[in-house]
Structures are given as structure tokens and as C-alpha cells.
């Protein structure tokens, strides 16, 4: 409800904005667009084009926040960043948008990261003055982070930002300048910029990844928006299974198979785990995780039988070599994993 109200307010704001844009006032400069590359669509399914607000709509709702401005990346839950923001009377991105506005709000998961990237870019466009970046103190930020892709490049292009200070998220007294706008030549600035952008890639294969690690801001944070999270990273999920043979004195004395089941999302984060679950022949074991539905796993009657899986209309067996790699029983256990669309 609140979102609908917001949206209609937003639409009128946008029409006013468009009116302004179509008759530019001489001498008035339009705000520079953020720099860098938003994620675009991630994962399968979902709409072909974004079902989130456009850049101009994002600009029209961004609030007039006072600095100092805080950014963060790669720190897990964002609590230290917002604690630090409060301690210096500053603001983080969450304060720049109405509560709940950045949430998924029933829209596609495939375009959520893209929306956050664009929102972060717009936030980096409007900030002024010294910027504080709360992160690991070695400043080795994954290339896939929003920080690397839209925030840092935008801050470097934002003439109102003279300096970026790195703040150690484990001890916010540790600080150092990692970038400064200097009177050097543009070429030198660009060289510096490239240098800063080419930092260590911990997850070289991933082009995009969330900065809201752990999928949620701290729900106990009074400024927090508990709905600001997505439960898992969509794409190809993975299930890793250890199956315990029946009647094995050392590993599984029970007369039924037992299973360890670990589900990871497309970002390799563990989103569900079952340990030593009883799995009688042919009976469904429902593995709950952050996925919207349980992953159903079934054992056969014999050791030669494959495990059977079902998830949201997909079904497959552990012998399927297109998406599974499974070993044979050895020392009372066999282990393998399968990928599936999530
Ligand atoms: C699956 O789990 C087993 C046991 O913990 C581990 O040895 C194996 O590397 C895992 N496989 C994958 C692909 O993660």
C-alpha cells in the first residue's frame, strides 16, 4: 500500500521533472549521470526489462541528506557502517531513500541487484564533501561489488568529493586516505582511477555480487529497513549431499539411509543445511532453505539406486551427468553435488 502511494507521488514528481528537462534553462547544468556498470538482468526467468524505477525516478525520490557520507563494501552485515555513520553524525545510503523504497516489494529478483547498483550510483552522484568508506582495511574489494562497479567510479567523477577515507570496519579508529582529488593532470587522475579500480578480485568469475552480505541489514538497527534483503542470490543453485549407507556400525548404525544436505545459492553462500537427516527408502526428505520451496530428495531401496530430486517443477536423478557429479559408496558414505535453477 505504502509503495503504491509512493509510486503515484513519484509519477507526478517525474512528470514535473520531465517538464523541466524538456525546456532546459540556459546556464543550468543537469546532474552528471553516475559512472560504471550496473548489473543488468541476473539469472533466468523474470521480465526482459527492469520492473524497478528508472534512474530519473530514483533521482526524484532521493532525499536531501546531510553528510558526512558513508559507503561500505564487503563487511557482511552493514551494522559497523551504520554505527560509524551515527558516531560521526553522517548518513549512509539507507538514509537517502524513503524507508522500504529500496526493497524488493514483490518485484523480480532478477533486476534487484541492477536497481541497487543504479540507486547506489545515484547516491554517489549527489554526495558532497569527504566520503568515508567502511571496508576491510587492506582495501581489497571484489571487482563484482557495487562499490567497485558504480560507487567508486562515480565518486571519482563527482567534483564535489575531494577525498575518500577508508575506515577499518573492525576498528573504526583505523583510517587512511585512499583517494584524493588533486590538481594533477586529467591523465594522471585517470591513471589513478584505473589503478584503484583494478583491485584484487576474490571471486574472479562473478561479475556481480551483493554488498549486503548475509542478505540483510541489521533488523535491530533503528534506521534499518528489515525488508531490505533478498533471501538468496538467484541463478544456478547447488545441492551437496552426503548419503550414509544403512546399518554401518561406524558411520550410520540405523536401518535407514541418512543424508547431509547443503544448499548454496548462485553466489556460493550457504542458504540451507540438513545434517544426518533420516531418509527412509522412497520417502520425501524436504530440505528447507532460503529458497521459496523445499528441495525434495528421495533415496532408493538399494545402494545402486540414484538419489531423486525435485525443485519447482525440475526433477532429476543423481546419475544425471548434465548437472550432477556423484561418487560411489566408500567407507559407508557417498558424496556428490548437483546444480539446479533457482
Ligand atoms: C561437497 O561436500 C563435501 C563434503 O563436505 C566436500 O568434500 C565437497 O568438496 C563438496 N563439493 C562441492 C562441489 O562443494
Which pLDDT does position 213 carry in this prediction? 41
**Does residue 171 share a domain with residue 70?**
yes
Residue 120 lies in a domain: yes
**Does residue 175 share a domain with residue 27?**
yes
Question: Cα-Cα-Cα-Cα dihedral of 211, 33, 152, 105, to 10°?
Answer: -10
Q: What is the extent of the structural domain holding 241?
A: 236-341
**Does residue 295 share a domain with residue 261?**
yes
Which pLDDT does position 234 carry in this prediction? 74
Residue 209 lies in a domain: yes
CA dist., res. 31 & res. 85, Å (int): 25
**Does residue 304 share a domain with residue 244?**
yes
**Does residue 29 share a domain with residue 74?**
yes
Which pLDDT does position 42 carry in this prediction? 85
Mean pLDDT of the chain: 79
Which pLDDT does position 305 carry in this prediction? 97
What does pLDDT average to in each consecutive run of 10 residues of the chain (342 residues)? 33 33 36 73 89 88 87 85 89 80 78 89 92 91 84 88 94 92 62 49 48 44 44 83 97 97 83 94 94 95 97 96 95 97 92
Which pLDDT does position 195 carry in this prediction? 53
Which pLDDT does position 298 carry in this prediction? 98
Q: Among residues 215, 248, 268, which one ends one of the domains?
A: 215
Which pLDDT does position 31 carry in this prediction? 41
Residue 247 lies in a domain: yes
Residue 231 lies in a domain: no
Ligand 1 centroid to Cα of residue 115, in Å, is 34
Other C-beta atoms closer than 10 Å to the C-beta of 196 total: 17
**Does residue 259 share a domain with residue 191?**
no
Residue 6 lies in a domain: yes
The reply to whether ligand 1 has any atom less than 6 angstroms from the CB of 240 is yes
**Does residue 157 share a domain with residue 305?**
no
Closest CA to 321 of 338, 304, 308: 338
**Does residue 62 share a domain with residue 146?**
yes
Dmax of the chain from CA atoms? Answer: 85
Residue 245 lies in a domain: yes
Q: Among residues 215, 250, 267, which one ends one of the domains?
A: 215
**Does residue 189 share a domain with residue 55?**
yes
Ligand 1 centroid to Cα of residue 33, in Å, is 44
Residue 225 lies in a domain: no
Ligand 1 centroid to Cα of residue 163, in Å, is 44
Ligand 1 pocket: which of 238, 239, 240 to mutate (most atoms <8 Å of CB)? Answer: 240
Ligand 1 centroid to Cα of residue 333, in Å, is 13
**Does residue 310 share a domain with residue 187?**
no
Exposure of 23 by Cβ count < 10 A (0-12 exposed, 13-18 middle, 19+ buried)?
Answer: exposed
Q: Provide the number of structural domains found in the chain.
A: 2
**Does residue 245 share a domain with residue 198?**
no
Ligand 1 pocket: which of 335, 338, 340 to mutate (most atoms <8 Å of CB)? Answer: 335
What Rg do the C-alpha atoms of the chain give, in angstroms? 24
The reply to whether ligand 1 has any atom less than 6 angstroms from the CB of 339 is no
Ligand 1 centroid to Cα of residue 236, in Å, is 16
Q: Among residues 186, 215, 244, which one ends one of the domains?
A: 215
DSSP structure class, residue 248 = B
**Does residue 153 share a domain with residue 242?**
no
Which pLDDT does position 32 carry in this prediction? 42
The reply to whether ligand 1 has any atom less than 6 angstroms from the CB of 337 is yes
Cell readout for 312 is 519447482
Residue 146 lies in a domain: yes
Q: Which residues in 322-333 are b (16+ Cβ under 10 Å) and which e?
A: ebbebeeeeeeb
Amino acid at each position: 500500500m505504502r509503495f503504491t502511494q509512493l509510486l503515484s507521488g513519484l509519477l507526478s514528481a517525474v512528470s514535473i521533472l520531465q517538464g523541466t528537462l524538456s525546456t532546459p534553462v540556459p546556464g543550468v547544468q543537469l546532474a552528471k549521470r553516475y559512472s560504471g556498470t550496473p548489473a543488468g538482468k541476473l539469472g533466468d526467468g523474470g521480465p526482459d526489462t527492469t520492473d524497478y524505477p528508472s534512474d530519473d525516478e530514483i533521482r526524484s525520490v532521493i532525499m536531501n541528506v546531510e553528510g558526512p557520507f558513508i559507503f561500505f563494501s564487503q563487511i557482511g552485515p552493514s551494522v559497523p557502517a551504520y554505527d560509524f555513520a551515527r558516531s560521526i553524525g553522517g548518513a549512509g545510503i539507507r538514509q537517502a531513500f524513503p524507508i522500504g523504497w529500496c526493497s524488493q516489494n514483490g518485484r523480480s529478483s532478477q533486476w534487484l541487484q541492477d536497481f541497487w547498483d543504479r540507486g547506489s550510483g545515484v547516491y554517489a552522484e549527489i554526495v558532497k564533501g569527504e566520503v568515508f568508506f567502511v571496508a576491510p582495511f587492506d582495501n581489497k574489494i571484489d571487482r563484482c561489488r557495487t562499490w567497485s562497479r558504480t560507487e567508486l567510479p562515480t565518486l571519482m567523477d563527482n567534483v564535489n568529493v575531494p577525498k575518500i577515507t577508508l575506515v577499518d570496519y573492525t576498528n573504526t579508529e583505523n583510517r587512511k586516505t585512499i583517494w584524493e582529488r588533486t590538481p594533477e593532470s586529467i591523465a594522471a587522475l585517470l591513471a589513478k582511477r584505473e589503478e584503484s579500480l583494478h583491485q584484487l578480485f576474490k571471486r574472479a568469475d562473478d561479475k556481480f555480487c551483493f554488498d549486503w552480505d548475509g542478505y540483510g541489514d541489521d533488523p535491530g538497527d533503528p534506521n534499518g529497513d528489515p525488508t531490505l534483503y533478498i533471501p538468496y542470490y538467484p541463478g544456478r543453485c547447488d545441492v551437496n549431499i552426503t548419503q550414509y549407507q544403512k546399518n554401518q556400525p561406524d558411520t550410520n548404525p540405523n536401518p535407514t539411509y541418512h543424508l547431509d544436505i547443503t544448499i548454496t545459492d548462485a553466489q556460493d553462500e550457504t542458504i540451507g543445511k540438513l545434517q544426518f537427516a533420516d531418509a527412509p527408502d522412497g520417502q520425501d526428505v524436504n530440505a528447507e532453505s532460503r529458497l521459496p520451496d523445499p528441495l525434495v530428495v528421495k533415496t532408493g531401496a538399494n545402494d545402486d539406486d540414484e538419489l531423486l530430486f525435485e525443485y519447482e517443477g525440475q526433477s532429476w536423478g543423481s546419475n544425471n551427468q548434465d548437472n550432477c557429479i556423484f561418487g560411489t559408496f566408500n567407507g559407508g558414505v557417498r558424496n556428490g553435488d548437483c546444480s539446479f535453477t533457482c
